[in-house]
Structure 1
Amino acid sequence: MNFGRIAYRVLAWTFLCCIVIQVFIAGMATFGDPSKWQSHASFVKIFAMAPLVMFLLTFIGGIKGRERLLSLALFLLVVMQFLTIQVFSSVFVIAALHPLIAMLLFWGAIAAARKT
């Protein structure tokens, strides 16, 4: 197994763990301490670029097909997450997609981690 595949695998599992932590932080903010929203907004900056790096690693690791597209889709979902809050927060119907996109990110992160 080459460096690209190993790095992709590690990053896929790390991304999945970060998604779980991010949802947990959102839950703490929603059901307990509203000051945790700042942690929620800050923590995402640590791992937001992971799917883009995963996408680039597919070329180094010779990973093709569904896994390559999945990593790109995960990156696009992360971009959509930022857009729902930073651009469309005043349009409640679009902003309401934020938790739905989070569910898709969770599902996609599981799929990416399991495929490695």
Structure 2
Amino acid sequence: METETLSSFTRVSRIVFLLLSFVLAICILLQTFLAGAAIFTDPSIWRYHVNFVHFFEFVPLFMLIFAFCGKLPKGFKWISGALLLLLFAQYATAHIPSISAIHPVVALVYFCLSMLVVQQSWRFWKSSR
């Protein structure tokens, strides 16, 4: 069995990666909810939308680090890097008026990709136990 040959550090890194993937997906969902609440309910909620990102902005970077520490397949490393690039795209589209209209589109791609990571990391974790 593969887990018997893996170090504790590698196993813990894989679990941390899995947990971070869940955290990221939930945070993106909450971030989207805050934007919708600000648009449709109360504009003062925008400050929560603007500030909440600072709670999870480093999660994709940590996922990339733990993908390497956990000796995960290359696909997890690439997708973690893509999530990090999408975060940068979110910052760019939020602050550059000429491209700000694609901000919600990038958010949709970001959420879909994060859900893909959750699904794949859950399957990988289950199969490697």
Q: TM-score range by the shorter chain?
A: over 0.9
TM-score (norm 2): 0.84
| Identity score, percent | 33
TM-superposition CA deviations, 1:46-105 (whole Å, max 9, x none): 00110111001111000122111111100100011001122x12x1xx111100000001
CA distance, structure 2, for counterparts of residue 81 and residue 107 of structure 1:
14
1:107 is the counterpart of 2:112 = yes
AA matched with 2:56: F
Decide which structure has greater helix share. 2
For the pair 1:98 / 2:99, whether they are aligned, the reply is no
Separation in structure 2 between the aligned mates of residue 26 and residue 79 of structure 1, nearest angstrom: 18
Q: Where has structure 1 moved over 3 Å in runs of 4 or more?
A: none
State yes or no: 1:83 paired with 2:92.
Answer: yes
Query: 33, 52, 55: which one pairs with 2:42?
Result: 33
The match for 1:68 is 77
Greater C-alpha radius of gyration: 2
Aligned residues: 112
Unaligned regions of 5+ residues in structure 2, if any? 4-10, 122-129
CA RMSD of aligned residues (A): 0.9
Please state how far the C-alpha of 1:28 moved relative to its aligned partner: 0.2
